[in-house]
Structure formats: C-alpha cells, structure tokens
Amino acid sequence: MIGKEELKNICDQTVVVVKEAGRFIASQIGKVQQTDIIEKEKNSLVSYVDIETEKILVKGLRNIINTADFLTEEDTVESKPSKSDWKWIIDPLDGTTNFLKGIPAFCVSVGLSYREELVVGVIYDMNRDECFTATKSGGAFLNNNKIEVSRIDKMRDSVIATGFPYSMNQLEGLIELLRNILQNVRGVRRMGSAALDLAYTACGRYDSYYELRINPWDVAAGILIVREAGGRVSDIFGNEDVLYSKNILGHK
C-alpha cells in the first residue's frame, strides 16, 4: 500500500492543479453564449468551459503521476486499455447547468485510485473558495480543517440531499421514493452537484445523500471524502463497492 506521506504529497499537488482549473472556471462565469452550449443528451449540457477545464486538469495531473490512466467525463483523453495501477477520475465541472445559469453551486472534482481503491479525493468549490480533501487513512478536511459527518441519528431530524437523473425513465418509482423520504425527514435539498452533495455530507451540512443513475466521475472524490470523515458510502442495497454501481447512498 502507498504510504500516508506519499498520498498527502500527491493530494497537495492535486489541490494546486484543481485550484488552477477552478480559477479558469471562475474567469468564464457569465461569458458563455448560447451558441457555445451543446446538449450531450436530454438535459445534459456541456460547453467549452467543461472541455478546456478538463484539459487543464489532465495536463497538470500528468505531471504528478505520468503513468496514470484517466477516466474523464468529457473524453478529452484517448480511451485505451488500462495498464497502470493509478487512475485519475475527473469531473471538470460538476454542476454545469448551475454554472451556465449563474447559480453558484458547481465545482471541480478529482479522485485518484490505486489498484481500483480510492486513495485521494479533492473537490473545489471556487464560489466559496472551499476545498474538500481526503487521503486514504489520512482523514478528511475542508481548507485544511478536519471535518466529520453529522451525528444526527433520527431520520425525522435529518436534512437529506438528492439529485435527479437526466433520463425520465422509471419516473414514477423515483417520485414514490422521494415522497416516502419527504414524509419522514426534516427537509430535502437538490443542489445540482453530486460532488458538492457528498462534500456537504462529509462536513455535516447534510445528514445523508442519495442519488440514482450517477456516474463514477461525479462521486469518486466524494466517496473517499465521506468515508474519511467517518461516514459510510454504499449503493442503495448496501454494497460498498459503489464507484461503478450507478447509484449511491452516503450517511453517518
């Protein structure tokens, strides 16, 4: 296993790269024109900001571990059979719709796995200058201050975060699940960024978070951050091998 000091060094270098990407995103707020926006699928938007941010990240992260593979949302890296023990898992702009609408709830999310185990996670909210970080067995932090998950243990006192999939297939089942939750908790929030939902769960702002039909780049960093903050992350059936499961549940 990789040593704690080596992972911390990698994490510190990753933060530098991620903040550079965040500064670029911040510089583009309000500048994207309608003609710059592409609809990848229904309700799933992308602009040059997502793509250029991903290029910044890939270039910088390659300087940290030059042998690592990449799993990226915008496919700026050529897909090839994995040969490395290391893999960067990148969402350059989680919350693209919020960004395009001027809603300040979006972030950069970067996870790193070693032999398929998540070992580094960094989520940067450039609007609030909040950087959430974690390393395997090294704890979780917000701007270098240690964080922990909520200690609320009664569902009726909980504030739960969720997200909704782009596809409207099986909508009735999703609505029924949400109805049941709404009837049993203090409140439900839908922010529009899975990475921030997990970061907020890690620091106790949310008591729990769930989402169906999610992608690995949305949650890779957040999974580790929640776990290192003392929380649990699984799929909705309780399986902890969750990165590629397409659904997620994070809580204390």
Same domain assignment for residues 141 and 160: no
Same domain assignment for residues 8 and 120: yes
pLDDT value at residue 77:
86
Percent of the chain beyond pLDDT 70?
95
Distance CA 111, CA 90 (A): 6
Same domain assignment for residues 113 and 16: yes
Burial class (CB in 10 A: 0-12, 13-18, 19+), 215: middle
Domain region containing 62: 4-146
The answer to whether the beta carbons of residues 236 and 229 sit under 8 Å apart is no
Same domain assignment for residues 89 and 214: no
CATH number, position 178: 3.40.190.80
- What average pLDDT does range 26-52 have in this prediction? 83
Same domain assignment for residues 241 and 130: no
Length, in residues, of the chain:
252
**For the CA atoms of the chain, what is the radius of gyration?**
17
Number of folded domains that form the chain: 2
Q: Is the pLDDT of residue 200 over 90?
A: yes
CATH number, position 92: 3.30.540.10
Tell me the backbone φ, ψ of residue 219, rounded to 5 degrees.
Answer: -125, -10
Q: Is the pLDDT of residue 52 over 70?
A: yes
Which of 56-60, 80-84, 141-145, 222-226 has the lowest average pLDDT?
A: 80-84
Q: Is the pLDDT of residue 164 over 60?
A: yes
- What average pLDDT does range 142-149 have in this prediction? 98
Same domain assignment for residues 191 and 140: no
Q: Is the pLDDT of residue 80 over 90?
A: no
Q: Where are the beta strands (DSSP E) in 126-198?
A: 130-135, 139-142, 145-146, 159-162, 187-189
Same domain assignment for residues 160 and 47: no
